Amino acid sequence: MIEPLHNFPVQKDLVVDIGDFMEKLARVKPWIISERERALEEGEYLQKPEELEKYEQFSACINCMLCYAACPVFAGDREFIGPAAAALGYRYNLDSRDEGANERLDLLTRDAGAFDCTFVGECSTVCPKNVDPALALQRLKIDGALTSLKSLMRRGK
C-alpha cells in the first residue's frame, strides 16, 4: 500500500510537511563548536582514523525521515526530538574536533529529548544507512545520566 510518511502533517496526496524535522536537525547545533576561532595559519583540524571511526556511522544519515515515520513515541508526541536529530547531535559530540558536547548533551536531554525515547528500536530497523539512531539515543541517555551524577557530586563538595 502506498501512503504518505507516517507521523507528518499531510499537505496533499503523498506530500508531507517536513518543516518540523528540518527545525529539529538545526536545533542540535550540527556543526563544530570551538572555544575560540582558529586562525587560518593554524591549518586544518587533524583527525586520526580511529577518531573518525567513533562517529562515522552516525554521520551516514541521509535525512530520509523513515525513522520518524517508524517511531511510536514521535507518533504520540510531535515535540519529541526524534532519532535523526539525536543521532546527528550525537555525531558531533563524538567528533574529536568538537568542543560543544556538554552544551549539546544538555539540549538533547531536556523535556522531549533523548529521555523520552522508550527504546522501541524501530528507527534503527528501518534506517537504510545503518546509522543506528536507537544506539545514539541510548548512549545519550547514559551520557546524560553520568554527567548529571558528576554535577551532583560536584555540588555536594
Q: Report the residue number, 45 or 119, with the smaller CB distance to another protein.
A: 119
What's the angle, vertex CA 139, arms to CA 134 and CA 140, rounded to 5? 95
Q: Report the residue number, 63 or 148, with the smaller CB distance to another protein.
A: 148
* 70 within 8 A of 131, measured Cβ to Cβ: no
Q: Report the residue number, 17 or 56, with the smaller CB distance to another protein.
A: 17
Using CB under 8 A as the binding rule, whether residue 148 contacts another protein is answered as yes
Using CB under 8 A as the binding rule, whether residue 147 contacts another protein is answered as yes
Cα–chain-centroid distance for residue 31?
12
H helical segments located in the chain: 19-27, 49-56, 66-70, 72-76, 83-93, 101-108, 122-126, 133-156
Q: Which one of residues 23, 56, 77, 99 is an interface residue with another protein (CB under 8 A)?
A: 77
Element (H, E) at 11: strand 10-12
C-alpha closest to that of 81 among 31, 12, 30:
30
Q: Which one of residues 73, 85, 127, 131 is an interface residue with another protein (CB under 8 A)?
A: 73
Cα–chain-centroid distance for residue 33?
15
Closest approach, Cβ 102 to another protein, in A, equals 8
Using CB under 8 A as the binding rule, whether residue 36 contacts another protein is answered as no
Using CB under 8 A as the binding rule, whether residue 100 contacts another protein is answered as no
What does the buried/exposed string (b/e) look like for 73-83 if buried means 16 or more CB atoms within 10 Å of the residue's CB?
bbeeeeebbbb
Using CB under 8 A as the binding rule, whether residue 32 contacts another protein is answered as no
Among positions 102-131, residues that touch another protein (CB under 8 A) are 102, 106, 109-113, 115-116, 118-122
Instruction: Summarize as ranges the residues that interact with another protein (CB under 8 A).
Output: 3, 6-7, 9-12, 72-73, 75-77, 79, 102, 106, 109-113, 115-116, 118-122, 134-135, 138-139, 141-142, 144-145, 147-149, 151-152
